[in-house]
Amino acid sequence: MRVCAMAYDVREVGNAVLEAAAKGGFALSNMSLNKIVYFAHGWFLAQYGEPLVDSAFEAWQYGPVHPQIYRQFKSYKDQPIRSRLTKIDLATGAQVPYRVSLPSREAELIERITLFYGRFTAAKLVEISHQPGAPWDQVWCSAEAAPCPGMQIPDSVTESFYRGQFAKPS
């Protein structure tokens, strides 16, 4: 059990999103999962001033991506994900699903974000992530040379953008 606020492994957050989607009666593609995990991270930063995920998202051609999620699920291509993010069990050497044991504050936000954004197609989620002034847009369009995958999206940019969204009417 976690005692203090902290950021979480992206595999735990990703699996929480996949579980919320399954509970909501829908499945996600790799692209949709990446966007929803990023949106949850952004809204968490804005609301609590703390990162949800303990590692960096990157600006790729189709929006924010977490390389670890992408690599584990790239074999699914654009098809629904039917497994969970894994880690190596040090005792056996086997890949095992990363267990979700998030506090209620984090779990509830992830569920709300998943149920909201999960109703959109992957293409719509890309469009949302590409809106002018969004963190992906700021990083991708500020590249001095040609933009390329691997450019990190700073949490400060993400937090500032999503805090600004609170002031806008829905």
pLDDT given at position 5:
62
**In angstroms, rounded to a whole number, what is the distance separating the alpha carbons of residues 117 and 86?**
24
Tokens linked to 44: 């968490």
| Mean pLDDT (the chain, rounded) | 93
Is 2's pLDDT higher than 60?
A: no
Tokens 């039917």 -> residue? 82
**DSSP for residue 53:** B
Is 67's pLDDT higher than 60?
A: yes
pLDDT tens-digit readout, 31-54: 999 999 999 999 999 999 999 999
pTM, whole model, 2 decimals? 0.93
Tokens linked to 127: 């469009």
Q: What is the mean pLDDT of residues 109-118?
A: 98
Which of left, alpha, beta for 107 (phi over 0: left; psi -120 to 50: alpha)? alpha
pLDDT given at position 148:
72
Strand ranges (E), the chain? 58-60, 63-65, 86-88, 95-97, 151-152
> Are 153 and 136 a contacting pair, CB within 8 Å?
yes
Could you give the 3-state DSSP secondary structure of residue 149?
A: coil
Domains of the chain, residue spans: 10-166
